[in-house]
Structure 1
């Protein structure tokens, strides 16, 4: 017998925000829409994708893809090797949405602003489900690397650019579309890929690979770019996942149990005589694959901006509907100060990433030179500010921010990833120093960008003068992080001064170049808090 209703727990829910429902990720985001249009992105495409990705149903699919982890299946029922990963249908949905919209294809189809539109898609998808971004990013970035082999490019490029997600276990010729991953890292080397021990043995017009890879991102990709030691030295190879009538000799060992990015099945693999095709000359492996790394770095500079946007949007929704001490949280001056301060970093990361993407679209030599150095600066700065920003946004929500019912826990777990992928902080800073030393055109292009904003703000001018006075040449190695942070912050300020509203650029110069106050969020005076907080909420 059921108890009487009065005996059931039946309290009235008060002072709790409603569900966000459908959220238009483009229309509600002036930082993205303003900069993407200014940098030449396809506003019509991005508006449609922002509306579609922001629906409650799509965000729920993203959460489901994170919740139900990929499953490694090594054998079938009869004991035959499978070496396959099974994903939740929501993961496949995210892949189909992204590739169908041109995530991997846009930059290579010839339309203006392809890289800017791609970068905006990276930003949007990272707010919904970042794990599926990894295979899509690698597919995008592999396309220019294939230029090292006309034959491989002719075979693979059409499938990589097909805008058609086909997860079938089948050789390339039978696929409507394909994805391409990467397998470089080994236990003993990490970022030092020249220490790789995987062997490549010539066989006819191809090679057989033998060795172990400590990280293979997206192991169900249709192929992988990988590095191995050939007779003439470290060489880049394309390893197909599936062969005609057989599986290639790639044995999955285990899936990595990662902090975040859990929908993506990063794995350890072994090559047991896997068939591979040389990409570029023997001994030129790093030079060949660096083209792929250059483009994946763009996405690792964009992704943290998307994560910061997602965290701030969640926090803004909370404070707009939650009251304490007889006032809405969003109306309380101290809360406004915190959110406004955080918004400066999100605005800067977004503007800088899209400016770098514009340089990737450019055809002039100075565009290429600027992109080479600026992408490393953007990656370094944005990934250093992302984790503390997400942590502060979590704190804005109090105890609920620590609960999986909200988006904050997965955003917090995801926040450090892009600072590690494609070169951790020290690797990036050393690369910045090498680029400044060896590629004068890159340093000159960045300096031209800095000088373009000179005279717009006295605090900017003073900070630029101080930077050049402190480092008239290359800094000593122990100061590489300081140098990179200073240069990247100035570069972000330069972009904001020329393209962002006055409240944003003025606030950034006050809060990041001439900071008066403490180092924690909300410790800056003189910000136009109302204008900055309003931009978070669209």
Structure 2
């Protein structure tokens, strides 16, 4: 009998891998900027990193092994193919407004919360805590990005909730910092943990939140939880509607203000929070996004009335950081899958990895991934010391330019990696099709390209010290590369030019400025921290004139072997 179905020349499953230990740029960054001695490259357990730390965070090698397991990868696939379902009413007709998720999703988010991927940096705010937390977030988002939305928002809600009245803060902050995960809605007495979402966008305003029409009317109650309001309006995008509470913008008598809206009120009754529908999205399928109606919904003021944007920006800044981390995590998944495939697949008489054209493509993808990872971890380090004005100024500008550039590079990077797998990459049986649909989200979420670029101009006009600090930081890499020095000089010249330009001229070139700043930042980080051949290849291709418009066009002399060894 002739067999017609012998499977050969296919890459084995990429599973059973410690994704932290396998990612040298990430592990080196954590060793450099994370809590001292916590996850030194190659170590699995020592006195500081072998068990659960004071924050309850798992050692990163354990997280890496978990997310690299076959079981976790199956859960990631299942959470995206068994999508959330809205139940607006129960079988008796009572309004319940609940979102049902597959058990795989709950296992994933429970693991991320247990590992401290949400609020471990706030629970134990020592130097390096934000780097450790960012690395854990990175690892989980690398394999399943949808759950990262509520994890990120809960992390980012902490500094905004800190501005609330003491009663509200004392009631909710321990729940945000908890390592427990409970998917059921419950009151303060019946539930020890909480996730927090946000609802800012309205259909008539989009990014222009000052055009919001949701109204906040004082109820006259003012107690330990603060001033109570009743909110009425429609939110076009509400992220993670299954969350326990939300930060919401609404128009109060004193102007646009920020409010804390719990799903369950202190007396145990359900707050008015009507989920109208779930959005049918291009990607991010495991995570629900929704439209909601508020109708006399109970809320408490957070921060000052009329200063809602200034209050919630504490949250937005950190979710922007997580957009950078999430995009970098997606790049890592793309590179890891592509490199794995070409090392196991043969064509035309040799392994794909040994064929110069493919070698150049995967090496180029790896350069992009390493630069994004370095950028994300350095930014996380800048969030460790809120008392350090210099780091605050640096992160104000660096977060914006990195969010713009790294997130925009994500979709094209995912596509090129997908193509490395050929037809397999284009099928839903392999993870890169899902990643390709996922990557555009983070370029849109928390400010699309123009919003971010115009924010950079606002920093230029109102916070020039941020630019001074930024150039002090990146200037430390001067003298290492002629291409970098030229790019740095051109960037400083453009800043001076746009600072003196009229508003329309500056706005027309805002993207150019943001791109230049982002590349100079990445070039400086690579020159300072990446191996010489890797840094040289990055600077020559991204800041010099030797790279191509597509991945895989590398200048002569690039040491692709060194680059691929890190992939």
TM-score category, normalised to shorter length = over 0.9
Q: Which residue of 1 aligns with 2:325?
A: 302
Rounded to whole Å, the distance in 1 between the matches of 2:144 and 2:13 is 18
Q: Does 1:159 align with 2:159?
A: no
Q: Does 1:323 align with 2:346?
A: yes
Q: Secondary structure of the residue that 1:276 maps to in structure 2?
A: strand
Moved more, 290-299 or 509-518: 509-518
Q: Give 2:365's match in structure 1, choosing from 339, 342, 347.
A: 342
Q: Which residue of 2 aligns with 1:367?
A: 391
Q: Deviations over 1:346-397 (max 9, x none)?
A: 1111101111111111231101111111111111110111111110011111
Report the Cα offset of residue 293 of structure 1. Answer: 0.5
Q: Which residue of 1 aligns with 2:54?
A: none
| TM-score (ref. length: structure 2) | 0.92
Report the Cα offset of residue 11 of structure 1. Answer: 1.9
User: Are 1:239 and 1:276, in contact at CA under 8 Å, matched by a contact in 2?
Assistant: yes
Q: Does 1:90 align with 2:120?
A: no
Q: Does 1:175 align with 2:197?
A: no
Moved more, 348-357 or 510-519: 510-519
Q: Which residue of 2 aligns with 1:534?
A: 565
| Unaligned stretches of 5+ residues in structure 1 | 1-5
Q: Secondary structure of the residue that 1:208 maps to in structure 2?
A: strand
Q: Which residue of 1 aligns with 2:157?
A: 142
Q: Which residue of 2 aligns with 1:3?
A: none
Q: Which residue of 2 aligns with 1:522?
A: 552
User: Are 2:60 and 2:136, in contact at CA under 8 Å, matched by a contact in 1?
Assistant: yes
Rounded to whole Å, the distance in 2 between the matches of 1:268 and 1:424 is 20
Q: Deviations over 1:143-169 (max 9, x none)?
A: 000121233221111000011111122
Which aligned pairs between 1:382-397 and structure 2 lie closer than 5 A?
A: 382-397=406-421
Rounded to whole Å, the distance in 1 between the matches of 2:547 and 2:327 is 26
Rounded to whole Å, the distance in 2 between the matches of 1:490 and 1:111 is 29
User: Are 1:280 and 1:288, in contact at CA under 8 Å, matched by a contact in 2?
Assistant: yes
Rounded to whole Å, the distance in 1 between the matches of 2:257 and 2:5 is 66
Moved more, 288-297 or 463-472: 463-472
Report the Cα offset of residue 252 of structure 1. Answer: 0.6
Which aligned pairs between 1:32-43 and structure 2 lie closer than 5 A?
A: 32-41=26-35, 42-43=38-39
Rounded to whole Å, the distance in 2 between the matches of 1:258 and 1:435 is 33
Report the Cα offset of residue 517 of structure 1. Answer: 4.5
Q: Deviating runs (4+, > 4 A) in structure 1?
A: none
Report the Cα offset of residue 471 of structure 1. Answer: 3.8
Which aligned pairs between 1:50-449 and structure 2 lie closer than 5 A?
A: 50-108=64-122, 109-149=124-164, 150-205=166-221, 206-243=228-265, 244-362=267-385, 363-449=387-473
| TM-score (ref. length: structure 1) | 0.96
Q: Does 1:26 align with 2:56?
A: no
Q: Which residue of 2 aligns with 1:508?
A: 538
Q: Secondary structure of the residue that 2:509 maps to in structure 1?
A: helix
Q: Which residue of 1 aligns with 2:43?
A: none
Q: Give 2:479's match in structure 1, choosing from 431, 436, 455.
A: 455
User: Are 1:166 and 1:177, in contact at CA under 8 Å, matched by a contact in 2?
Assistant: yes
Q: Deviations over 1:513-533 (max 9, x none)?
A: 113243111112132111111
Report the Cα offset of residue 10 of structure 1. Answer: 4.8
Q: Does 1:490 align with 2:520?
A: yes
User: Are 1:347 and 1:504, in contact at CA under 8 Å, matched by a contact in 2?
Assistant: no
User: Are 1:259 and 1:413, in contact at CA under 8 Å, matched by a contact in 2?
Assistant: yes
Report the Cα offset of residue 172 of structure 1. Answer: 2.6
Report the Cα offset of residue 437 of structure 1. Answer: 1.7
User: Are 1:340 and 1:527, in contact at CA under 8 Å, matched by a contact in 2?
Assistant: no
Q: Deviations over 1:163-196 (max 9, x none)?
A: 1111122113311211111011000011100000
Q: Deviations over 1:25-73 (max 9, x none)?
A: 0111101101121112441321221111111111111111111000100
Report the Cα offset of residue 505 of structure 1. Answer: 0.8
Rounded to whole Å, the distance in 1 between the matches of 2:142 and 2:404 is 20
Q: Secondary structure of the residue that 2:545 maps to in structure 1?
A: coil
Closer, same or farther: CA 82–405 of 1 in aligned 2, 3 Å: same
User: Are 1:515 and 1:524, in contact at CA under 8 Å, matched by a contact in 2?
Assistant: no
User: Are 2:126 and 2:384, in contact at CA under 8 Å, matched by a contact in 1?
Assistant: no
Report the Cα offset of residue 117 of structure 1. Answer: 1.1
Rounded to whole Å, the distance in 2 between the matches of 1:395 and 1:494 is 30
Q: Secondary structure of the residue that 2:477 maps to in structure 1?
A: coil
Aligned residues: 530
User: Are 1:113 and 1:358, in contact at CA under 8 Å, matched by a contact in 2?
Assistant: yes
Rounded to whole Å, the distance in 2 between the matches of 1:82 and 1:365 is 46
Q: Secondary structure of the residue that 1:297 maps to in structure 2?
A: helix
User: Are 2:18 and 2:65, in contact at CA under 8 Å, matched by a contact in 1?
Assistant: yes
Q: Secondary structure of the residue that 2:478 maps to in structure 1?
A: coil
Report the Cα offset of residue 504 of structure 1. Answer: 1.5
User: Are 1:460 and 1:493, in contact at CA under 8 Å, matched by a contact in 2?
Assistant: yes
| Unaligned stretches of 5+ residues in structure 2 | 40-48, 50-58, 222-227, 500-505
